[in-house]
């Protein structure tokens, strides 16, 4: 139990300090048996204390705390319900990822780490946040994607550990940043699907991926 709160606090701070969220934006959650702990609504992520995390029954959606959960609670619940293999969900508003996707572009593979570690990115056209409409759209793609980019909104990542979900968020934002920079100075050279598959088959990348899942 204490490890859940330690991880939530650590990565709440990381999200803010790395500029992936601003103010009270963004939310995160972790599975704890049949329950999840999710960030409370309206809190700056750096100001959340142990007693503030909101306990929710994953199966029923019943809120078991006095504080109001993040307005994106439905999206988090759908992830845990559909993916028993994951234990962590992050939602942030990374600038380059939002910028690239809102221009109607997908975030391409331009450097080894991104395709080697992130197997699939799903893209959703804009729908109003915090609603069951968005949660349903996430549910429709989350079965085989660890990164969901929501155009004009943000990015959601899931992982077997919070460290893995955070790394996916970092990689996605870095890929969007590299693409943006390359596009300002010339025509970006993208990695081919064959090149991406070769990277995924590297023993070193498989080992690194296992370390993230076990963290």
The terminus-to-terminus CA distance of the chain in angstroms comes to 15
- Residues 6 or more apart whose CB falls under 8 angstroms from that of 38 comprise 27, 28, 29, 53, 54, 56, 69, 70, 73, 76
- Residues 6 or more apart whose CB falls under 8 angstroms from that of 6 comprise none
173 classed as catalytic:
no
Q: Which of 116, 120, 100, 91 is nearest to 178 (CA)?
A: 100
Q: Which of 4, 28, 3, 5 is nearest to 16 (CA)?
A: 28
Of residues 72, 164, 173, 174, which has the active-site annotation? 72
Active site residues: 72
């Amino acid at each position: 139990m204490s490890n859940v709160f330690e991880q939530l606090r650590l990565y709440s701070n990381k999200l803010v300090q790395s500029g992936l969220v601003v103010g009270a934006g963004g939310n995160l959650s972790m599975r704890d048996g049949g329950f999840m702990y999710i960030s409370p609504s309206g809190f700056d992520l750096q100001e959340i204390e142990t007693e503030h995390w909101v306990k929710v029954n994953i199966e029923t959606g019943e809120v078991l705390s006095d504080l109001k959960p993040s307005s994106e609670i439905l999206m988090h619940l759908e992830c845990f319900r559909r993916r028993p293999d994951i234990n962590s969900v992050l939602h942030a508003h990374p600038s380059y990822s939002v910028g690239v996707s809102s221009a109607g572009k997908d975030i391409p593979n331009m450097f080894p780490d991104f395709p080697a570690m992130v197997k699939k990115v799903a893209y959703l056209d804009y729908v109003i946040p915090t609603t069951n409409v968005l949660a349903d759209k996430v549910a429709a793609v989350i079965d085989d994607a660890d990164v969901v980019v929501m155009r004009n909104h943000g990015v959601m990542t899931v992982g077997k550990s919070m460290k893995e979900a955070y790394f996916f968020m970092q990689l996605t934002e870095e890929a969007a940043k590299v693409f943006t920079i390359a596009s300002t100075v010339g025509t970006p050279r993208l990695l081919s699907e064959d090149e991406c598959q070769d990277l995924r088959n590297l023993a070193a990348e498989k080992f690194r991926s296992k370390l993230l899942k076990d963290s």
